[in-house]
Structure 1
Amino acid sequence: MWTRLVTATTLVATLAPIPAVVSAPVRSSAAERGWVTSTLRQMSLEQKVGQLFATYVYGGDATEPTAADRAANLAAFGVETPAQVVERYHLGGVCYFSWSHNLDNPRQIATLSNGLQRAALGNRAKGMVPLLISTDQEQGTVVRMPPPAAQFPGSMALGAGRSAPAAQTAAEVTGRELRAVGIHQPYAPIADVNVNPANPVIGVRSFGADPTLVADLTAAQVTGFQDRAGGTAVAKHFPGHGDTATDSHTGLPVISHSRAEWDRIDAPPFRRAIRSGVESIMTAHIVVPALDPSGDPATLSPTILTGVLRGELGFRGVIVTDALNMAGVRAKYGDERVPVLALKAGADQLLMPPDLALARDAVLRAVATGELTERRIDESVRRILGVKYRQGLARTPLVDVEQAVRAVGAPDHLAAVTRVTDATVTAVRNDASVLPLPRTTGRAGHRLGQRRLRPGRGGRRRVHRPRARVTARPATLPSDATIAATASQAAEHDLTVVLTNKAWDTTVTDPRATQQRLVAALLGAGKPVVVVAVRDPYDIAYLPGVATYLTTYSYTRAAMDALVRALHGELSPQGRLPVTIPTAEGTGSVLYPYGHGLSW
């Protein structure tokens, strides 16, 4: 009946499989302790302080960046190339981003990693040590490695799938591909329990609203990243960022949980991660008065980092701060004080200070004045060096570029993406039994979902399937003219499928209310409408009159392919809501409960 469906996808290439990875040991060995001690003895204080910092660098090549990237490095760091940044500041780590032009394709990324490692190593006799290289590869809506890398569904989709083995598989494959190109820390999994539907920064990045589910899947991903892929898992954001309506990138959130609520809701995933041997935990720039009444963000709180995380929870690994250029950590103290206070609180690795030279010099001055001791610096450097040793960087800091090209996007990895994703599509409402679509002829309308594709991937792409033509192209928030034209077209078709992206968010800076008006106009055309939320599942509460509603939690290629098959009955939705969907009035009433899900 319906012959055309327009939705958002990305293309994934097929490459050769990656060989098995030997997992790094979690516990300290005599060899590790010997290497750490001997390396530390060779380092100057300035080199030790450099080990505490991880930051971005501009450019896709360590020594030959573009003119624009040279200028960006010069403005930010006083030198022109990524290699020079590493050398000048004796960096302990580098964090890759697409906006800093580090991530293009497997060959380029692996080559960049090798170039940066060579810069970090320099003359080993002078105390030079390899880098820890990181990126935010959470999957789902937070992805740094572009295709052909495996694009798994994100955490909330995995929560809908309810499968710890699937979560472990996603982490293992992701970790293997990252390790192949020389990236060691994925800055995942997300251990936050998203109990606030209005959370502007976590949302689908969380496995869900149930602490037990989040703890189970967090532990599974720690195992996948570390024991199976040989990487370094980073559970975040301690002590728990799941119940906030403020984004710590732009403000300082306050979590009002009592101590008992924190123990019941926020703590379990971190406790499980620690028991599973997680190597690193990332702090949150949030205030939790029940844990520390001082008003300091957790990143700068000795009570929270040293008292609770190390003392009560027994964590012995590397504590890495969330980015120090975020407003949440800069709100109370100046940029010169923040790195010193973070170290005094118990942090080990200082991520992305807004002024690296200022931060480095502030730590050096704190040691010179006695506010920090060199022994305290040594404690953190030992932990960081231990992770590097367990990563195998003391023996093999460079990666095989040709193997990286074969490994990333391997056929078995992409097959795993499909298997995992297929189990996450969630059908929430099908009142008129519109779905699955019948196998008769007719005309179907379409409306582009509110997906913003990355620059450079905006052209049309078609994937032909029986009874469906899938087209991917950029979409923006619909204008009034577009809404009117689309509603007019919908009246001429038997069915319209519309994709929404955070349609619940009606803040002034992100006027998603236009999506709500679009859906209302389509319903007014008098023909069936299928709404698919390709991000937060909460949209249905703000779309009155919608009788058919699904959620995919992300807009990856695999998610959109699974959606097409679910619409046509080739795939029966298996996902169950990992969160509660409340009504829009804010009264606490439940529209759809945790665990709800339909199938056909």
Structure 2
Amino acid sequence: MAAGCAGSGAAEPAAGRAGTAPAASRPAESATATPARATDASASSRVDAVLAKMSVEEKVGQLFMPVLYGPAADTVSGENQARFGVGTPAKMIAKYRPGGVILFPWAQNVKNVRQVVALTNGLQAASPRIPLLVGADQENGLVSRLAPLVTKFPGASVIGSTGDPSLARRAAEATGAELRALGVNLDFAPVADVNINPRNPVIGPRAYGSDPKKVAPMVAAAVRGFHDAGIAATAKHFPGHGDTGVDSHTGLPVIRHSRAQWDRLDAPPFAAAIREDVDMIMSAHVVMPKLDPSGDPATLSKPILTGLLRQRLGFEGVVSTDALDMAGVRKKYGDGEVAVRAILAGADLLLMPPDYRKAHAAVLAAVESGRIPAERLDESVRRLLTLKAGRGILERAPAADPAEAERTLRSAEHRELASLISRKAR
């Protein structure tokens, strides 16, 4: 179930993002304050300093973003015990030191504003050495994991129908401000797919439209809006999920676009997002045989993630897998091997592995054996740390304030913006 797809469990040049001043030299900041930017050299130096002090186990931990169960960091849950061998989210973080976590209502993470603020603050307190990416799947519209706490903005297709990218930017900025107030620093949005197939069972109105020339500026504007709010943005689902007739939660879609068709139909919104320094791009569990004849989904495809995304489009930021518990990526390999192959293909962040301990052990063993070279591991960890530096959370995560969150979420200004978008929709 993708972190950004519509299932109950659900899913992109960015190196050298600037970070903030070292924690010792800046005042305490609220969760809604947009972090100041430092020089690229400063951010790179601080990233290298953190990386040099990390053990192999800590580096492997940074590659993972699991779901943790319960409404508080110290909530004892049978799910946590079964999946991680420890009872609470805080103990899981202390044991495995993951790079981040993703919040879902079905994991009992989202009850009310003050509870979410306490949860995100508690999760960050459990990771004092390297703060967490705290992600949410808040596309608005069909995929709105923080509803009904946040403003009910129209989905991407409605915004796209206005023909006004400035509204995409304003909606993303407002959404980002609300996420940041809750202690969430990464949104798995915007959707950069071009919904070419009207029978698409999984994208549909989650996309800004069916014309890449109109979708691309909307995606770019949304990335700018999230950045205006100090939130990391994720363009998804690369290399494109818009022409599928199969839901990758339950099957493995095959898209038969030629390379020329891909360049014309699928690539433009991702290229636009990259030009806006998008923090993260999420892979798709789709097979594109004209781009990679191996039969592997893009999540496990080096020709696609490294060849097309890194080398052809020049993306230097974080590549996240779509959720690894989805059927589309689990058909051919076991849950441990999938995690290893995703890293070898070019992914940096392993999202929601269904068997966390098996995936973690497999990646650690692959590093220790040399199958995943130490240099390859460091590449991914450096990208993740650079993202954190760029969003002001490498040395210290901002503390969310419950009173400020209650003022920010569903504010009159945000509700009026949502109404304006609906009125301008065609």
Could you say which residue in structure 1 is the equivalent of 2:6? none
Q: Does residue 164 of the first structure (1) align with residue 165 of the second (2)?
A: yes
1:109 to 108, 111, 116: 116
Contact between 1:52 and 1:349, CA under 8 Å: does it hold in 2?
Answer: yes
Contact between 1:147 and 1:409, CA under 8 Å: does it hold in 2?
Answer: no
2:50 to 23, 39, 60: 39
Distance 1:178 1:388 in 2: 16
* 1:109 Cα deviation after fit: 0.8
Q: Structure 1 266/24 Cα, relative in aligned 2: closer, same or farther at 3 Å?
A: farther
TM alignment of 1:262-301, pairs within 5 A: 262-301=262-301
Distance 1:291 1:418 in 2: 42
Distance 2:31 2:120 in 1: 20
Q: Secondary structure at the match of 1:233?
A: strand
Distance 1:30 1:396 in 2: 21
Distance 1:415 1:40 in 2: 44
Distance 2:52 2:149 in 1: 42
When the two structures are superposed, what TM-score results if normalisation uses the length of structure 2? 0.90
Q: Structure 1 20/145 Cα, relative in aligned 2: closer, same or farther at 3 Å?
A: closer
Contact between 1:173 and 1:413, CA under 8 Å: does it hold in 2?
Answer: yes
Q: Does residue 201 of the first structure (1) align with residue 202 of the second (2)?
A: yes
Q: Secondary structure at the match of 1:110?
A: helix
1:78 to 85, 92, 96: 85
Q: Structure 1 278/94 Cα, relative in aligned 2: closer, same or farther at 3 Å?
A: same
* 1:206 Cα deviation after fit: 0.7
The one-character-per-residue Cα deviations of 1:532-576 (angstroms, maximum 9, x if unpaired) are xxxxxxxxxxxxxxxxxxxxxxxxxxxxxxxxxxxxxxxxxxx0x
Distance 1:210 1:161 in 2: 14
Contact between 1:117 and 1:397, CA under 8 Å: does it hold in 2?
Answer: no
TM alignment of 1:447-596, pairs within 5 A: 575=426
Q: Structure 1 256/184 Cα, relative in aligned 2: closer, same or farther at 3 Å?
A: same
Which deviates the most, 96-105 or 147-156? Answer: 147-156
Q: Secondary structure at the match of 1:371?
A: coil
When the two structures are superposed, what TM-score results if normalisation uses the length of structure 1? 0.65
Q: Secondary structure at the match of 2:106?
A: coil
Q: Does residue 22 of the first structure (1) align with residue 34 of the second (2)?
A: yes
The one-character-per-residue Cα deviations of 1:66-96 (angstroms, maximum 9, x if unpaired) are xxxx112112211111111211111111000
Amino acid at match of 1:91: P
Distance 1:400 1:322 in 2: 31
* 1:64 Cα deviation after fit: 3.0
Distance 1:110 1:421 in 2: 29
* 1:19 Cα deviation after fit: 10
Which deviates the most, 37-46 or 185-194? Answer: 37-46
Contact between 2:131 and 2:397, CA under 8 Å: does it hold in 1?
Answer: no
Contact between 2:67 and 2:102, CA under 8 Å: does it hold in 1?
Answer: yes
Q: Structure 1 294/159 Cα, relative in aligned 2: closer, same or farther at 3 Å?
A: same
Contact between 1:24 and 1:231, CA under 8 Å: does it hold in 2?
Answer: no
Q: Secondary structure at the match of 2:68?
A: coil
TM alignment of 1:365-514, pairs within 5 A: 365-393=365-393, 394-424=395-425
The one-character-per-residue Cα deviations of 1:364-410 (angstroms, maximum 9, x if unpaired) are 11112111112211111111011111221124442223212221112
Contact between 1:23 and 1:229, CA under 8 Å: does it hold in 2?
Answer: no
Could you say which residue in structure 2 is the equivalent of 1:542? none
Q: CA RMSD in A?
A: 1.5
Could you say which residue in structure 2 is the equivalent of 1:335? 335
* 1:28 Cα deviation after fit: 6.1
Could you say which residue in structure 2 is the equivalent of 1:132? 133
Contact between 1:171 and 1:225, CA under 8 Å: does it hold in 2?
Answer: yes
Instruction: Name the structure with the higher helix share.
Output: 2
Contact between 1:24 and 1:230, CA under 8 Å: does it hold in 2?
Answer: no
Amino acid at match of 2:104: F
Contact between 1:61 and 1:112, CA under 8 Å: does it hold in 2?
Answer: yes
Question: Is there any run of 5+ residues in structure 1 with no aligned partner, and where?
Answer: 1-17, 122-127, 425-574, 576-600
Q: Structure 1 113/314 Cα, relative in aligned 2: closer, same or farther at 3 Å?
A: same
* 1:147 Cα deviation after fit: 2.7
Contact between 2:130 and 2:396, CA under 8 Å: does it hold in 1?
Answer: no
TM alignment of 1:99-248, pairs within 5 A: 99-121=106-128, 128-226=129-227, 228-248=228-248
Distance 2:350 2:31 in 1: 33
Percent sequence identity over matched residues? Answer: 52
Amino acid at match of 1:312: R
Contact between 1:60 and 1:104, CA under 8 Å: does it hold in 2?
Answer: yes
Could you say which residue in structure 2 is the equivalent of 1:89? 96
Distance 2:380 2:314 in 1: 16
Distance 2:123 2:149 in 1: 23
Could you say which residue in structure 2 is the equivalent of 1:250? 250
The one-character-per-residue Cα deviations of 1:406-443 (angstroms, maximum 9, x if unpaired) are 2111211111111112222xxxxxxxxxxxxxxxxxxx
Distance 1:22 1:42 in 2: 28
Contact between 2:31 and 2:401, CA under 8 Å: does it hold in 1?
Answer: no
Distance 1:31 1:59 in 2: 38
Could you say which residue in structure 1 is the equivalent of 2:71? 60
Contact between 2:31 and 2:183, CA under 8 Å: does it hold in 1?
Answer: no
Question: Is there any run of 5+ residues in structure 2 with no aligned partner, and where?
Answer: 1-29
Q: Secondary structure at the match of 2:422?
A: helix
Q: Give the count of matched residue pairs.
A: 396
Distance 1:348 1:391 in 2: 17
Could you say which residue in structure 1 is the equivalent of 2:311? 311
